Amino acid sequence: MTEIDYAALAREAGLPRVGARQALPTYLKEMWQRRHFAVRLAQYRIEGSLNQNRLGLFWVVLSPLLQAAVYGLIFGVILPKDTREGINFIPFLVTGFFIFTFFSKSFAQGARSITGNTSLVRSLSFPRMLLPVAAVLRNLYELVPMMAVLVFILIGFGEFPMWTWLLVPVILAFMTMFNLGVALIAARLTVHVRDVTEVIPVITRLIFYTTGIFYSLEQVLADQPHWMLTAARLNPIHDFVELVRWAFMGSETDMTQLAVIAAIASVVTLIAGVFFFWTAEERYGRD
């Protein structure tokens, strides 16, 4: 008796294989149709974390503020004053810390978005990309009250509204694209190699200390070869931080180069992240 080739028979009948990866346009269309799932999941994660603490929403702002205060106290004393000459230090520090927190938490939570939701991935059929999207959305939502508090800090330390403040949402929109691309890449890598989650804090700390959160890279590297400052500006995180600082506090530095690098990094990282994550769609929940 001839053995039936069920796979060939299914192809002829137009039956898709269970868990088969869709074409990218179809995949993205289904993601958009189910975007409310990512939004609700992000909100649920926030509600769940807030319910565990008595202060609730206050911790979203209080935690990075306390960390900024610690770094400001330590490095504000240790570092030479010429590394922050002419800088309104408190708004400078808090702005940098809030923006970096948006990146670091999106990176870390995005990396765990698949491995931390294994039961969900294995039990329901949906575009897995929605999980890293939800992780980044969560941190974007948490950034909103942080920005509100930052506005009060800016005004309290003599930085009053300018027309450039209107550019902050645009800068953060590009940064959200960049963070999502990074989260997608990290999410897939973590599925293949779980040890990636152990390396992420090291990478984040390295970026933190080389981004100029509590000092001005331009002043620190003023006496160094010019290529060092050029190389430092190729760090998109530094560029996003500096662009937000410029928008809020003003600066005589030409931001055109930083804006171009940040925009290109956002688009390229997002496209690369989407493609890289999508190509392994069939493996999520099976590895």
Which segment, 7-16, 32-41, 276-285, is predicted with the most confidence on average?
32-41
Query: Out of 105-119, 156-170, 242-256, which region has the weakest mean confidence (pLDDT)?
Result: 242-256
Query: Out of 24-33, 53-62, 187-196, 259-268, which region has the weakest mean confidence (pLDDT)?
Result: 53-62
DSSP string, 121-138: HHH--S-TTHHHHHHHHH
Domain coordinates of the chain in residue numbers? Answer: 34-79+86-283
Question: Mean pLDDT over residues 140-155, rounded?
Answer: 90
pLDDT of residue 100 exceeding 50: yes
Contact of 60 with 142, CB cutoff 8 Å: yes
Tokens of 136: 């980044």
| C-alpha–C-alpha distance, residues 126 and 202, integer Å | 32
Contact of 267 with 177, CB cutoff 8 Å: yes
Q: Which residue has the tokens 């808090």?
A: 94
Does residue 8 or residue 116 have the better pLDDT?
116
Report how far Cα 1 is from the mean position of its chain's Cα atoms: 58
Angle between helices 58-78 and 89-111 (to 10 degrees): 120
Q: Which residue has the tokens 């809030």?
A: 98
pLDDT of residue 241: 95
* Band of pLDDT at residue 10, cut at 50, 70 and 90: very low
Does residue 56 or residue 127 have the better pLDDT?
127
* Band of pLDDT at residue 9, cut at 50, 70 and 90: very low
pLDDT tens figures, 172-207: 999 999 999 999 999 999 988 888 888 999 999 999
